[in-house]
Amino acid sequence: MATGLPSSIQGKVIGGIDDDLSALTFDPDRNSLIAVTNGNPHLLELSLEGDLVRAIPLVGLGDPEAIEYISPGVYVISDERLQRLLRVEVDERTQQIDVAGAQQLSLGIDRNGNKGFEGLAYDAAGKRLFVAKERDPVRIYEITGFPYVSGKQAIAVHVSENRERDAGLFVRDLSSLQFDERTGHLLALSDESRLVVELGTDGQPLSSLSLSAGRHGLERDVPQAEGIAMGPDGTLYLVSEPNLFYVFRK
């Protein structure tokens, strides 16, 4: 991640969304961005310019906070308060997503009210799903074995963590994650610290991107950064509550 990325779109209001915008992931098949809202749960498709393409109701989810692209038409969504991860499928015909019967993984780790699973990232080559716990304390878990291929028997699920890496995270909270397939580095977004931190393959911080006014061309602070995604060219896309959109290009 280049620390000097300038902002080319900042604070654009996404029409058709009033509040509770959360999470962001890049879909390479659709060349678009996928997000969720948690107050009135929907899966959203956004253009790379931050325009709403479609909104699909989510049924059976109380508090969706994160979404991550896995493979064509397949995503994982986190339900923060219940600390569960769900595999969902979406195509052009999808009008509603009911998670009843969906593959799911429940993890009762460090349960603390709604300070649960706030961010997701996926390493497609290593088949690792990174899960961020928001705070008290901040944690990044690595999960293998979920989601599994539909129609095949589930394989063993393994959950691990890197306490040394997590102890070195100098942020007050975690709100989103992004895995950079090109470098193997992990980007961690903090709302309260107004930072994106780049972590190397050894878990050590390498660089950071400030989301405060006056940095990278930002005229105002990013108020409540909730989701980050990266395009294939390294462009960073970011969303903030209530309904704001940002782009940082090289």
pLDDT value at residue 39: 84
Q: What are the extents of the domains in the chain? A: 7-248
pLDDT value at residue 233: 93
pLDDT means over runs of 10, the chain (250 residues): 75 93 97 94 97 96 93 94 90 95 82 70 96 88 86 74 85 95 96 95 92 93 97 96 94
pLDDT value at residue 45: 98
State the Cα–Cα distance between residues 238 and 205, nearest whole angstrom: 20
State the Cα–Cα distance between residues 58 and 66, nearest whole angstrom: 13
Query: Domain 7-248's class?
Result: mainly beta
State the Cα–Cα distance between residues 226 and 132, nearest whole angstrom: 12
Quote helix, strand, coil % in the chain, to nearest 5.
0, 50, 50
pLDDT value at residue 2: 56
State the Cα–Cα distance between residues 79 and 65, nearest whole angstrom: 6
Residues in a beta bridge with 198: 187, 207
State the Cα–Cα distance between residues 157 and 95, nearest whole angstrom: 31
Residues 6+ apart with CB under 8 A from 188: 119, 132, 140, 169, 171, 174, 176, 177, 196, 197, 199
> Assign residue 86 a region: left if phi > 0, alpha if psi is -120 to 50, beta otherwise?
beta
pLDDT value at residue 115: 60
DSSP 110: S
pLDDT value at residue 170: 86
Residues in a beta bridge with 74: 71, 89
pLDDT value at residue 190: 95
Q: Give the three-state DSSP class for 166.
A: helix
